[in-house]
Amino acid sequence: MSDNNLKSRLLEWKENDWTIPEEINRNELSLELMEALKSTDWILRDELALSFLWKLIMEDMLEEGQIRNLLKLALSEEHLFYKLGAIEDDSVFNRAFTTLIIRWIIKYHNDKVKNDQHEILSKEEVLDCFNKVMEYLKKEKDVRGYVQDKGWGHSAAHTGDALVSFAGSTELDKTQLLEILQGIKDKVSIVYYVYKNEEAERLTTACIELIKRDDMEEEDIVEWIRSFNDLEVPKEYQDPNPLKAYKYIHSFNENIKNFLRSLYFRLKFKGMSPLLINEIEAVLNNINEFFNNK
């Protein structure tokens, strides 16, 4: 079915209180909606396809086998890994919005486990999904937020949302949780783009979920926070041209400071660990030493 025909149907259902007609095959619809995530039409992709996929997954409209197959599709070369590495390419919409589908499937599974219902995914499936999302986090280079005329790309923010679901997964242990923290640190310390669309806040939410877990020790979080002191602009961006060098250093410092500020104020607002708050303040003062001494 063409994008226009699908969009017309979805708009009609939206006007009818988001009601999917009984005669519609839910599984076939979910596959059509996954294809629509590739669209550059932000209304079709973001407002309609994404919303109806959420409804199908979170409101028990798909069978368990269908949900597992949907996850396999999401993790495939057709979606999460589609043209991974491309920069300022329309393929980012497919990848970035697929991370939200993964987020919801993992959350759906987590909710079933939490409510003492049977598991939707095996531990092996959850860990395989986690490993692939972490690979995606590392390799995604197109981190644009809002793209003119095409809507949100927001790959870093969306991946942060997916990591929130993984942070709530009992299948993950301390090893994977520390891997998430490392992945977030790597993502917020890029030099080729300055985040400006609340990416730091979305990644901070994942950190907060990790910090709240009983199996995360405070000293591990302290060590991670202190490790921001040791970050340096990668050698390939240490340009001998002073103007270019300043541009990269500015981007690098701005991203790190914005993230640490977000984490600092979130911890403070929630009344969480004073030790962590003090450690973040110390790192920020160290990074900001040049301006603090003015």
How does 121-147 read in b/e, with b if 16+ C-beta sit within 10 Å? beeebbbebbebbbebbeebbbbbbeb
**Residue 144 above 90 pLDDT?**
yes
Q: Residues 245-274: what's their mean pLDDT? A: 93
Enter the tokens of residue 291. 């301006």
pLDDT in tens, 20-39: 999 999 999 999 999 999 99
The Cα–Cα gap between 119 and 102 comes to 16
Cβ neighbours of residue 154 closer than 8 Å, sequence gap 6 or more: 96, 144, 145, 146, 197, 199
Long-range CB contact pairs, 152-155, < 8 A, 24+: 152/42, 152/46, 152/96, 152/197, 153/92, 153/93, 153/96, 154/96, 154/197, 154/199, 155/92, 155/95, 155/96, 155/99
Q: Is residue 36 part of a domain?
A: no
Name the packing angle between helices 3-15 and 50-58 (round to 10°).
60
The Cα–Cα gap between 43 and 190 comes to 30
Query: What does the pLDDT read at residue 1?
Result: 60
**Residue 240 above 80 pLDDT?**
no
| CA distances, 176 to each of 92, 169, 223, 225, 227 (Å) | 26, 10, 16, 17, 18
Domain that holds residue 196: 81-292
Query: What does the pLDDT read at residue 233?
Result: 85
**Residue 294 above 80 pLDDT?**
no
pTM of the full predicted structure?
Answer: 0.94
Q: Residues 187-207: what's their mean pLDDT? A: 97
Query: What does the pLDDT read at residue 232?
Result: 87
Q: Is residue 45 part of a domain?
A: no
Rg (CA), the chain: 20
Q: Is residue 248 part of a domain?
A: yes
Query: What does the pLDDT read at residue 26?
Result: 98
**Residue 42 above 70 pLDDT?**
yes
Enter the tokens of residue 6. 């699908």
**Residue 191 above 70 pLDDT?**
yes
Q: Is residue 1 part of a domain?
A: no
**Residue 67 above 90 pLDDT?**
yes
Of 98, 96, 30, the C-alpha closest to 65 is: 30
**Residue 229 above 70 pLDDT?**
yes
Q: Is residue 15 part of a domain?
A: no
> How many domains is the chain built from?
1
Q: Is residue 67 part of a domain?
A: no
Q: Residues 247-256: what's their mean pLDDT? A: 90
Q: Residues 216-227: what's their mean pLDDT? A: 96
Q: Is residue 73 part of a domain?
A: no
**Residue 169 above 90 pLDDT?**
yes
Cβ neighbours of residue 252 closer than 8 Å, sequence gap 6 or more: 189, 190, 191, 231, 233, 237
**Residue 121 above 80 pLDDT?**
yes
**Residue 274 above 70 pLDDT?**
yes
Q: Is residue 14 part of a domain?
A: no
Strand residue runs (E) in 44-149:
146-147
- Low-confidence winner among 30-44, 153-167, 228-242 (lowest mean pLDDT): 228-242
